[in-house]
Amino acid sequence: MGTILPFPASPGGRGQPADLQVGFSRIELSRIIDLYGRMVAAGFWKDYAVEFGPEHAAFWAFRRTAERPEYRIEKRPSLRSRQGMWALVSENGTVLRRGHELGPVLAPIERRLLKVVG
């Protein structure tokens, strides 16, 4: 029969353990997806992408599919003890907000959803 390989397979394929990758917890991802859904309903965003790597995890939000992402929400655990592991990065690569918790980092985006009722 076939050979059973552990998932994910190692990058070298020589039986070496694969690099650990950073990911989002269920609570973090549900908070990000909830914001994404509200932004889609408001007509601001159309598409998204998720990236997982050995040093960071990122959620990319696009206005249109063929453009650069409008925002990138990054989680870098290596910065946990310094600047905070969460970062909100703009389309041109500028870090707009950095912090230790996800809520305050997402606040500038959520502010766009507020409407004044007269």
What is the tens place of the pLDDT at every residue in 79-104? 888 888 999 999 898 999 999 999 99
Pairing of strands 95-99, 47-52: unpaired
pTM of this structure: 0.77
Is the pLDDT confidence value at 28 over 60? yes
Distance CA 64, CA 47 (A): 6
Report the Cα–Cα distance between both ends of the chain, in Å, rounded: 71
| 71 contacts 94 by C-beta, under 8 angstroms | no
Domain ranges of the chain: 26-111
